A and B are shown apart, each in its own frame.
Chain A
Amino acid sequence: MERDIGKPLFNLFLMITSAIAFVVASGIPDFEIVGDLSPAFFPQLLSGLIFLLALPCLVKDVNEWRMAAGARSQSAGVSRKRSIAQWLFIILLLIGYIVSFEPLGYIASTALFTFVCVVGLAFVSGVWASLSAIERGKSLIATLVFALLLTLGIFYVFTELFNIPLPT
């Protein structure tokens, strides 16, 4: 069994978040309406329940984590690092895409995103380093063509056929 500290930590995260939500919910102003529960009732009930139910999960997952101590091998550590890098790369790239979407317009931001996504994944995953110069050039051109085709294809379909405007 893989030892993953994230599992108990996520429960802890849920408990902390729900506790904060509970406190914030107490600040929701009340409006007196006959028979009605207050607007804060459900948020508090739900965050309270999440907190209470996450507690046994936390205990169970911490126990499992301690039982699985030392089960991880060294080689898993290397590929794990690469996995995390790939994961973070996609998230950061998406944030960049969202930020640049309206300022740069759809075509520029999407083409850029697609290109960087494909090339970047090759880079982060370590394939890039193993390629020869010619292979790199080929893959760059192929990716560029793919990015442009995808971007312009979607643009045409959305704006011309569906009449759904995209920022330019």
Chain B
Amino acid sequence: MSGYIDGLGMVLQWGTLLAIAGGTLLGIIMGSLPGLTSAMAIALLLPVTFGMPPVAGIGMLLGALCGAGASGSIPAILLNIPGTPSSVATTFDGFPMAQKGEAGRALGLAIVASFFGGVASMVILSLLAPPIAEFALRFGPAEYFSLSIFGLVIIASVAGKSLLKGLIAGLIGFFISTIGTDPITGVGRFTFDELSLLTGVNLLPALIGLFAISQVLKDAFEYDPYERMKESAHRIDNARPLFVETLKHWKALLIGIASGSVVGPIPGAGGSIASLVAYDQTRRFSKTPEKFGKGYAPGVVSVESANNALLGGALIPTLALGIPGEAATAVLLGGLMIQGITPGPLLFADQSGTIYGIFLAYLVANFFMLLIMCLGIKLFIRVLMVPRKQLLAAILVFCFIGVYGVDGDVFNLYLMLGFGVLGYFLNRYDFGTAPVILGLILGPIAESNLRRGLQSFEGDWTPFFTRPISVTFLVIAAGLLALTLWQNYRSKHPRAT
């Protein structure tokens, strides 16, 4: 307890609070622009933190992480543009809500859900980090493979009208993920001597192309200059944080927090799929699964709470083991090390209170996030007031700069356009684009871990079915698959009663 008091002393200083607020604001701005990520926000702040005391510097970086995690929902809800893989699931119900004129309500729910997710994960982080980190270490090739199979079952939840076509879309994504240098042998696959393809197809241009560009193409196709503006239909009055309503969807909230905290800590896999797992589970546990995907509030609540809960989850292996799960925590780890803070069990046993200062800084960052987002919500929603033609042009410019800004590679712009055209037709002909992203994310995990496992076990397949965690995932995946097929059958052949 005395640790927390020392920690509180470090956080409650004007300089520290200002640093956290600044980091959070930058994170929110960058997270809301398509393409720019929390990793970039943190990298940008890194040189600034050098001169600061550790808790202030790390607090600033955590603020950026927290802000970007929450603000990804803004473009996802308003424009159907997920800026990161973790906000893909936000578009499923958030964008339909916006189309129904409920953008403000969707944002209000998303903000509060993000806040609860972030705070809950901070509590879990501070209490359970070391044991959860140990659990994450038990994930070897077999476990990762089975996890990815479990994840692929989610396709059934995000597929559009046709399960078969959703499956094809997932396979297309999986296939595209095999482009690039083979992860095990190093031979080039479909690289056609293009340097930019050596490390495979980048997720970001694929994401922006499949969602944003395809949406713009659809808008362009349907653009009717004589159509009266629909903006008046947007209700601004409900554009405020909706605490009570969010809490009413407590089941979705809890599932989101649980998914984020459990899946988030798994290095390399957690970040991208935790929110999709949350969406899938919320839909399955719901009494009204048919409402999902059409603008149903619990869909937004579960995804957004998972989105910020997974940040706390991702911090667990970063702080407890020094193993960052993805880019954002990797930069953060760099920030910790520059400050002379060594992650690991010793950090948690350290009596100086630094670790408690870090926990509290993260908590404070969540409050700043809530505050800034609440102040900004009426501003965000004005995006929808921009006339159609101008909005179209602006979206394209933002996507363009976002994709170019990350890697400075023009090739990615062509990729983005290609994915945009592909996504347009996939949507138009009922395949859907979400399964493609799922295939792109989970495909490499499935393939490389299956083959890495076979290499480790020297060709033996049995460990995939005998290792306890692995077999658990496989059994759950098989069960969910059977359930889906049965539900699908029942909905097509309703029994006469």
Do A and B touch (CB < 8 Å)? yes
Interface residues in chain A, defined as those with a beta carbon under 8 Å from any beta carbon in chain B: 6-7, 10-11, 14, 18, 21, 24-25, 28-31, 33-37, 39-40, 42-43, 46-47, 49-50, 53-54, 56-57, 61, 79, 83-84, 86-87, 89-91, 94-95, 97-98, 101-102, 106, 110, 113-114, 117-118, 121-122, 125-127, 146-147, 150-151, 154, 158, 162-166
CB distance from A104 to the nearest CB of B (A): 13
B190 interfacial contact with A, CB 8 Å: yes
Are B175 and A125 within 8 A (Cβ)?
no
Are A146 and B447 within 8 A (Cβ)?
no
Pull 23 A–B residue pairs with CB atoms less than 8 Å apart, ordered by A. Answer: A6-B428, A7-B429, A11-B429, A18-B175, A21-B190, A28-B187, A28-B188, A33-B185, A34-B458, A37-B454, A39-B189, A86-B223, A94-B213, A98-B413, A101-B400, A110-B400, A117-B393, A118-B389, A118-B390, A121-B223, A154-B398, A158-B401, A164-B40
The 8 Å CB contact of A6, one of B224, B429, B455, is B429
- The digit string for B162-182, where 1 denotes a CB below 8 A from any CB of A, is 101101100110110010001
Give Cα A121 to B393, complex, Å. 10
The 8 Å CB contact of B175, one of A30, A43, A154, is A43
6 closest cross-chain pairs (CB), A and B = A35-B459, A31-B185, A117-B393, A39-B182, A46-B175, A127-B225
B414 interfacial contact with A, CB 8 Å: yes
- The digit string for B406-444, where 1 denotes a CB below 8 A from any CB of A, is 001010011001001100010011000000000000000
Are B178 and A57 within 8 A (Cβ)?
no
Give Cα A11 to B169, complex, Å. 11
Which B residues between 1 and 45 are near A, CB-CB below 8 angstroms?
Answer: 30, 36, 40, 44
Q: Across the interface, name the chain B residue whose C-beta is closest to A29.
A: B187
B222 interfacial contact with A, CB 8 Å: yes
Q: Please report the total number of B residues contacting A with Cβ < 8 Å.
A: 64
Are A121 and B217 within 8 A (Cβ)?
no
Give Cα A106 to B185, complex, Å. 40
A84 contact set on B, CB distance < 8 A? 221
Given A125-B223, A162-B36, check contact A25 B455 (CB 8 Å): no
A147 contact set on B, CB distance < 8 A? 393
Chain B interface SS verdict (over half):
helix
A94 contact set on B, CB distance < 8 A? 213, 396, 417, 420
A91 contact set on B, CB distance < 8 A? 217, 417, 421
Q: Across the interface, name the chain A residue whose C-beta is closest to B414.
A: A98
Give Cα A150 to B401, complex, Å. 12
CB distance from B284 to the nearest CB of A (A): 24
